[in-house]
């Protein structure tokens, strides 16, 4: 497939502060005090499948209240540090110089930057001034897959040039110490921070991005998203997400594959976003997978938590390291909209 965009390299990074799940549980108990609501929700931490996550700020930062302005300053600074790290790593891994770059796609939904993160990174790293820039906000957990799709489209539009995909999410900055609502407690149990970078170019080695697609369900705008409050972003997600996956995802996947002349039986590996254990269980039932077929997704959830858009690229990194020759891989993630993103990778 000489004219297909190919994945030349992939790199990941996390911020410096590790958060053991047991330490988070004790801090939550101290901050919120005992209540009937908290007692009902504490098992979410133990049942999350998460042992450790990473944060751009130390654990004691969460002991004090922080406004929207301070949270966003932390977001911009932490995001840029992580993006600088993964950019250097992916360029080194792929053996690509900055002069070979033609475009940059930057995905993030956990903070706001104007000028956008890509412009700030161009200045910091002295990247080429002619780069085509595409900052993407609002895709949430689907952003890794849909960002990969946009980067692939950009690579096809500029043959010979490499396109840099950057994904960064600092989910932990949305923790709200005065909010004992279920959505905040569940987010506190699941979310971590991380970043990933991918390099794409038409031609060369690496798996080809054969096809990409999306599906947005009707009447689903309230399933997942943010509410903007005075002290920052407040997580919104419905308990119906696993149910919607089980009832609605398979027809959307089948339609996507059919448009590309394939069926589910012709997929060798499934790269699924580890949104949580219930989400992964729903993926397994939809795709008819054995427990071992989502091992990498469960490992990423265990070691890093749910890093929103970045998570699926952490999963892909592990799966590429273990894949067999000529595997056909289907990437699937879901985010606000409510939208599923798909990407089909193949070495053929």
Closest to 166 in 3D by CA, of 143, 198, 134: 198
Rounded to the nearest 10 degrees, the angle between the axes of helix 277-287 and helix 250-259 is: 50
**Full-model pTM:** 0.94
- CB neighbours of residue 266 within 10 Å: 11
Average per-residue pLDDT for the chain: 91
Query: Which of 80-84, 183-187, 318-322 shows the highest mean pLDDT?
Result: 80-84
Cα atoms found within 13 Å of the Cα of residue 341, Cβ hemisphere only? 23
CATH number for the domain running over 208-346:
3.40.47.10
Closest to 197 in 3D by CA, of 166, 171, 226, 175: 166
What pLDDT shows up at residue 115? 96
CATH topology of domain 5-202: Peroxisomal Thiolase; Chain A, domain 1 (3.40.47)
Residues known to be catalytic: 141
User: Which whole-number Å values give the CA distances from 126 to 11, 41, 118, 197, 312, in the listed order?
Assistant: 20, 47, 11, 17, 28
Pick the range with the lowest mean pLDDT from 236-240, 270-274, 314-318: 236-240
| DSSP 8-class letter at 336 | T
Percent of the chain with pLDDT over 90: 66
* Continuous segment of H or E residues that includes residue 84: helix 68-94
Dihedral, CA of residue 262, residue 252, residue 340 and residue 50, to nearest 10: -80
pLDDT digits over 109-160, tens only?
A: 999 999 999 999 999 999 999 999 999 999 999 999 999 999 999 999 998 9
**E-assigned strand segments in 70-170:** 101-107, 132-136, 162-170
Beta-strand relationship, 132-136 and 162-170: unpaired
pLDDT digits over 75-120, tens only?
A: 999 999 999 999 999 999 999 999 999 999 999 999 999 999 999 9
* CATH 3.40.47.10 residue window(s) in the chain: 5-202, 208-346
Helix (H, G, I), strand (E, B) or coil at 47: coil
């Amino acid at each position: 497939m000489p004219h297909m965009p190919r994945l030349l390299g992939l790199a990941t990074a996390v911020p410096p502060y590790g958060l053991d799940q047991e330490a988070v549980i004790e801090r939550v108990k101290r901050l919120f005090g005992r209540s009937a609501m908290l007692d009902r929700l504490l098992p979410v931490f133990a049942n999350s499948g998460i042992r450790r996550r990473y944060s751009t700020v130390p654990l004691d930062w969460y002991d004090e209240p922080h406004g929207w302005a301070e949270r966003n300053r932390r977001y911009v600074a932490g995001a840029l540090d992580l993006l600088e790290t993964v950019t250097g790593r992916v360029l080194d891994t792929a053996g690509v110089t900055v002069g070979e770059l033609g475009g940059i796609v930057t995905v993030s939904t956990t903070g706001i930057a104007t000028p956008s993160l890509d412009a700030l990174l161009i200045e910091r790293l002295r990247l080429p001034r002619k780069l085509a820039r595409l900052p993407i906000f609002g895709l949430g957990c689907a952003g890794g897959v849909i960002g990969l799709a946009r980067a692939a489209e950009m690579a096809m539009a500029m043959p010979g040039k490499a396109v840099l995909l950057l994904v960064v999410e600092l989910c932990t900055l949305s923790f709200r110490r005065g909010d004992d609502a279920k959505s905040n407690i569940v987010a506190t149990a699941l979310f971590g921070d991380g970043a990933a970078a991918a390099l794409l170019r038409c031609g060369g080695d690496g798996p080809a991005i054969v096809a990409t697609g999306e599906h947005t369900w009707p009447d689903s705008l309230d399933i997942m998203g943010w509410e903007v409050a005075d002290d920052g972003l407040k997580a919104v997600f419905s308990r119906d997400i696993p149910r919607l996956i089980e009832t609605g995802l398979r027809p959307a996947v089948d339609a996507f594959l059919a448009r590309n002349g394939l069926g589910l039986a012709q997929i060798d590996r499934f790269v699924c976003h580890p949104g949580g254990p219930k989400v992964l269980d729903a993926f397994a039932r939809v795709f008819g997978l054995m427990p071992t077929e989502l091992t990498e997704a469960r490992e990423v959830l265990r070691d890093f938590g749910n890093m929103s858009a970045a998570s699926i690229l952490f999963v892909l990194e592990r799966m590429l390291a273990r894949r067999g020759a000529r595997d056909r891989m289907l990437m699937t993630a879901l985010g606000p909209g409510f939208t599923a993103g798909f990407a089909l990778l193949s070495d053929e």
